[in-house]
Amino acid sequence: MADNNVREFDVIVIGAGAVGENVADRVVRGGLTAAIVEAELVGGECSYWACIPSKALLRPGTALHTAQSVPGAADSVTKVLDPVPVFKNRDYFTNKWQDDSAVEWLDSAGIELVRGRAHITGPREVHVDGKDGTSYSLKAHHAVVVATGSTPVIPPIEGLRSVPYWTTRGATSAKHVPGRLVVLGGGVAGVEIAQAFARLGSKVTIIARGRLLSSFHEEAASLVAAGLRADGIHLRLGTDVASVEHKDRSFNVTLGDGTVVSCDELLVTTGRRPSLDNLGLENVGLDAEDGKHLRLTTDPSGLVEGAASDGTSGLWLYASGDAAGAAFLTHQGKYEARATGDAIVARAKGTLHGTPKPWSSLAKTADEYAIPSVVFTDPEVASVGWSFKQAVEKGINASSVELPINVSGSQLHSENYRGWAQLVVDEDRKVVVGATFAGPGVSELLHGATIAIVGQVPLDRLWHAVPSFPTISEVWLRLLEKYGL
């Protein structure tokens, strides 16, 4: 490494994913200077290996299946999905894993890019092993923000670590369609990628130790399970994996009951955890408990609790997005980033003292009440706020209204449309605190529910929000009628 290059900025952001980019943008707009440190590609996981490529791989299959489900269109759709243009579409959306346009954007936004791996060496101090061979000592006048994303959790299954399994990166950047694909884990990433590859021609088996999509309502998950089965996906639910081996270019997955499932690619989607390893957080007093991975606790502005002070102020270390660990979702991370960026500016200008007020622009209050999430399978699941169980656990006097989606909009959407919807209501305040929709094309219904929850719209006022005819949103009216309005 060449000589240390000492540079000073108001704010140093570690990680140039969607979240880091947004924090840096907000602080620069607020009049501060910012450097962003990135070890891989500017744009992060979502752009190159997660949301964007997975949706680019899913969308053609969904569009084809939708057309095939509409009488009048079905007869005109005669071909099966051709993987070559599907991969081409994915390559277009990932910009072939080149980050030049993202770098141009950083430049236009006035954010300094430092390429390399960052390591926190002390309060407000970051060391970077630069990709250009230079090592940098960066110093922040106001804040350092950890926006390092998340990393896959790999379960301790015998043999697994020594075989060339795919994580989501391998699947979303695949150049071929495996003949046989086994997906280990029945969460969001697993079901989405399983369906994308099944529709591209793979023979897919999902192995899940419980049911599919365990963080979503069972009715919604069972509609997805039916959709996956209709695509020929074999579901091995409530099944443990005993061991894995790789022999003659095949994987042999031995299940708890001794059955062996063989495949050409093995995808492991068993959750993610914040990427905080080797970041130097121990240098500022943040240590993991024995044998556990470190998790950060943040205040509503994203300020990390417990970070060592440099003598002037303890208010210097922030975390946002996947690294902060509240939600592993791009949109929610970007929301957190806006609050954190603005709070850093407000503290630097002396206009924020202490913790920001709930629902102010400096607080990520919605993390507590309304995290919207969509599973982009066909059918989709779209959910926001609290489940009935969560509401009860929080001491809410809750009720739930549920029904199949069967309105003019759904009947016109596709033949034999099957969907399900639920509202969770706080009976004391008569407002919606949770909503789930499952069925083809329901993702666009979700924002209405998010607005109702965040806006705490009283149910008797929601009654006056008239859904257009004939749309699937008419289900809102049916839900309110069933509730008793």
Ligand X SMILES: Cc1cc2nc3c(=O)[nH]c(=O)nc-3n(C[C@H](O)[C@H](O)[C@H](O)COP(=O)(O)OP(=O)(O)OC[C@H]3O[C@@H](n4cnc5c(N)ncnc54)[C@H](O)[C@@H]3O)c2cc1C
Ligand Y SMILES: NC(=O)c1ccc[n+]([C@@H]2O[C@H](COP(=O)([O-])OP(=O)(O)OC[C@H]3O[C@@H](n4cnc5c(N)ncnc54)[C@H](O)[C@@H]3O)[C@@H](O)[C@H]2O)c1
Binding residues for FAD: 55, 148-150, 322
Tokens encoding 216: 């979503």
| 462: partner contacted, choices ligand Y, ligand X, none (Cβ within 5-8 A by kind) | none
x/- mask, ligand X, residues 238-277, rule CB under 6 A, reads -------------------------------------x--
Tell me the residue nearest to ligand Y as measured from the CB: 187
**Residue pointed to by tokens 């996906």:** 233
| 40: partner contacted, choices ligand Y, ligand X, none (Cβ within 5-8 A by kind) | ligand X
Supply the DSSP symbol for 281.
Answer: G
Beta partners for 374? 382
HSE-up of residue 238 (Cα within 13 Å, Cβ side): 0
Task: Tell me the residue ranges of DSSP E strands in 366-426.
Answer: 373-375, 380-385, 398-404, 420-426
State which of residues 24, 208, 225, 442 lies at the interface with ligand Y (CB under 6 A): 208
The distance of closest approach from Cβ of residue 302 to ligand Y in the complex, given in angstroms and rounded to an integer, is: 18
- Asked if residue 304 binds ligand X (CB under 6 A), the reply is no
> CA-CA distances (angstroms) from residue 26 to 23, 63, 205, 327, 334?
5, 37, 44, 20, 11
In whole angstroms, what is the distance from residue 365 CA to residue 383 CA?
A: 18
The distance of closest approach from Cβ of residue 206 to ligand Y in the complex, given in angstroms and rounded to an integer, is: 9
Task: Select from 266, 241, 251, 55 the least CA-distant residue to 166.
Answer: 266
In whole angstroms, what is the distance from residue 7 CA to residue 192 CA?
A: 43
In whole angstroms, what is the distance from residue 475 CA to residue 470 CA?
A: 10
- Asked if residue 223 binds ligand Y (CB under 6 A), the reply is no
Range in contact with ligand Y (rule: CB under 6 A) among 158-166, 183-191, 402-410, 468-476: 183-191
x/- mask, ligand Y, residues 351-390, rule CB under 6 A, reads ----------------------xxxx--------------
- Asked if residue 36 binds ligand X (CB under 6 A), the reply is no
In whole angstroms, what is the distance from residue 73 CA to residue 59 CA?
A: 18
- Asked if residue 16 binds ligand X (CB under 6 A), the reply is yes
The distance of closest approach from Cβ of residue 430 to ligand X in the complex, given in angstroms and rounded to an integer, is: 31
Nearer to ligand Y, 72 or 156 (CB): 156
Sequence-ordered alpha helix ranges (H) in 94-187 = 100-108, 168-172
State which of residues 50, 224, 304, 319 lies at the interface with ligand X (CB under 6 A): 50
438 within 8 A of 379, measured Cβ to Cβ: yes
Residues contributing to the annotated binding site for NAD(+): 185-192, 271
x/- mask, ligand X, residues 352-381, rule CB under 6 A, reads ------------------------x-----
- Asked if residue 189 binds ligand Y (CB under 6 A), the reply is yes
59 CB burial (10 A radius; 0-12, 13-18, 19+): middle
- Interface contacts to ligand X, rule CB under 6 A: 14-20, 37-40, 44-46, 50-51, 54-55, 117-118, 147-149, 168, 172, 189, 275, 279, 321-323, 328-331, 333, 376
